[in-house]
Amino acid sequence: MPKAKKHRRKASITSSSLTGVPLPSGSSSNPSSTRTFIRQFHVLIKRKAQLQRLLEEPRIRKFDEQDATRKELASIEREITNLGGLETYQRMSSIGQGNDRGGGSEKVLIGWLNEFSEPQRLCETNGRFKLLEVGALKHDNYAAHASWIDNTPIDLHSRHPSIKEQDFLLLSEDQNRSKWDIISLSLVVNFVPEPKHRGRMLQLAHTMLRSDGYLFLALPLPCILNSRYMTPEHLQDLMQNLGFTQMRSRWKEGGKMAYWLYKKTAIPSHRNLMPYQKKTVLRTGNRNNFCILL
């Protein structure tokens, strides 16, 4: 009788394997190690949010269940700390956007705005776009375009005095209503652990953009091509229901990133939000669980 196969658990990433290795400014660590670290960090952050939600649930849970949840949460938090925390995650992400890796996503946004002749139009009128760059890892991503872009970079953990430490989801909706010409959500929505908070982020972006303002969205390509709950068509319908018209999109089969440029339009009067209020399986098989809920 053949022996059953043993499933070996993947070894966790430790601080000694990643964070203990010095990473010179402007150079890249091993690309595979960087991607593995970022994926592992996302998994830990998502599980941490799930455990915190369980502890906050109003229904009565057995003491041993609560105790087990607290112990797992403490273990997850220790592993995040051992990985170096958010600061190391940001450092790895910044390296992934280095010039030797093709640069940051701002190049894509600038390229599209040039296609629409926005720089020329603004320079002729002595105007500047008010840009809110969410999840900014560098303070000077748009410095070369300061003549027509007035950039405000924010992040959960500021790495520079010019980057405001701010949670986008906690920004005042009233104070930011129709305030921004462009909002950049590059590798931000996928970092948010709760699917409903991802949807809330997109809804807030619509509120905070001026009429005809631009939303720039960047996600890892597997979020739309290898998810149980998300496809390019599903995302397109979701954005239309939120009041966004797609102007540009860019990705390639076998690539790692997907980019979109949307323009704010009126929210449809007869929109249907039901397909985006609970997880609906769109694919089966070995898939990831990325989704956006409203």
Based on the fold, state whether residues 174 and 272 are members of the same structural domain: yes
Of residues 2 and 16, which shows the higher confidence score?
2
- Here the CATH number for the domain that contains residue 271 is 3.40.50.150
Based on the fold, state whether residues 129 and 143 are members of the same structural domain: yes
Of residues 97 and 110, which shows the higher confidence score?
110
Instruction: Indicate the number of domains in the chain.
Output: 2
Contacts of residue 82, Cβ cutoff 8 Å, sequence gap at least 6: 14, 15
pLDDT, position 24: 38
Which residues are registered as beta bridge partners of 69?
none
Which residues are registered as beta bridge partners of 248?
261
Q: For the residues 77-91, what does the mean pLDDT come to?
A: 68
- CA–CA distance, 19 with 85 (Å, rounded to integer): 10
Based on the fold, state whether residues 93 and 131 are members of the same structural domain: no
State yes or no: 285 annotated in a binding site.
Answer: no
Counting Cβ atoms within 10 Å, is residue 67 exposed (0-12), middle (13-18) or buried (19+)? exposed
Based on the fold, state whether residues 138 and 201 are members of the same structural domain: yes
For residue range 23-43, list pLDDT tens digits in order: 434 444 566 666 666 667 657
Based on the fold, state whether residues 62 and 123 are members of the same structural domain: no
**What SS3 state is found at 122?**
helix
Report which of 132, 121, 127, 98 is spatially closest to residue 216, judged by C-alpha positions: 132
- CA–CA distance, 195 with 278 (Å, rounded to integer): 10
* pLDDT confidence bin for 16, thresholds 50/70/90: very low
* pTM of the full structure: 0.72
pLDDT, position 100: 36
Q: Is residue 66, in this structure, part of any structural domain at all?
A: yes
Q: What is the DSSP letter of 259?
A: E
Rounding to the nearest 10 degrees, give the CA dihedral for residues 36, 37, 39, 42. 170
State yes or no: 155 annotated in a binding site.
Answer: yes
Q: What element of type H or E holds 260? A: strand 257-264
Q: Is residue 282, in this structure, part of any structural domain at all?
A: no
Based on the fold, state whether residues 204 and 144 are members of the same structural domain: yes
Q: What element of type H or E holds 253? A: none
Q: What element of type H or E holds 70? A: helix 63-83
Report which of 238, 244, 246 is spatially closest to residue 273, judged by C-alpha positions: 238
Based on the fold, state whether residues 141 and 167 are members of the same structural domain: yes
- CA–CA distance, 86 with 214 (Å, rounded to integer): 28
Of residues 138 and 44, which shows the higher confidence score?
138
- CA–CA distance, 233 with 254 (Å, rounded to integer): 18
Q: Integer distance in angstroms from the first to the last C-alpha of the chain?
A: 51
Based on the fold, state whether residues 90 and 123 are members of the same structural domain: no
**Structural domain containing residue 62:** 16-100
Based on the fold, state whether residues 108 and 61 are members of the same structural domain: no
pLDDT, position 193: 87
Average pLDDT, the chain: 82
Q: Is residue 8, in this structure, part of any structural domain at all?
A: no
Report which of 262, 255, 214, 224 is spatially closest to residue 241, judged by C-alpha positions: 262
Based on the fold, state whether residues 25 and 144 are members of the same structural domain: no
Within 10 A of 249 (CB to CB), how many other CB atoms are there? Answer: 15
Task: Point out the domain boundary residue: 100, 118, 134.
Answer: 100
Based on the fold, state whether residues 209 and 239 are members of the same structural domain: yes
Task: Point out the domain boundary residue: 100, 118, 135.
Answer: 100
Q: Is residue 233, in this structure, part of any structural domain at all?
A: yes
Based on the fold, state whether residues 73 and 59 are members of the same structural domain: yes
For residue range 157-189, list pLDDT tens digits in order: 887 899 999 999 999 999 999 999 999 999 999
